[in-house]
Amino acid sequence: MQSVTINIQESYIPRLNAFLKSLPKEATMIRSLDAEILSRVDEYKSGKMKTTPLREGMDRIKAKIEAKI
């Protein structure tokens, strides 16, 4: 199965949905990211997600770039 990302004008969404529904069920898989996003937000809020302060992350990036110069 191949993955494709498309941007479509809002007015064409009903036609896209009709087309997708016309295909056999095994031909497409539409995955909503809602559950993934909620899971990550919960992980962040609970403190379980490892995070790096912005300044620290930017300093690391800067150091890597400067080392290549």
Check residue 67 and give its pLDDT. 96
Residue 1 has pLDDT above 80, yes or no: no
> How far, in Å, CA of 58 to CA of 61, rounded?
5
Check residue 30 and give its pLDDT. 81
Check residue 45 and give its pLDDT. 95
Residue 56 has pLDDT above 90, yes or no: yes
For residue 54, give both structure tokens. Answer: 């912005």
Residue 29 has pLDDT above 80, yes or no: yes
Average pLDDT over residues 8-17: 94
Check residue 53 and give its pLDDT. 94
For residue 9, give both structure tokens. Answer: 């004008």
Q: Look up the pTM and report it.
A: 0.44
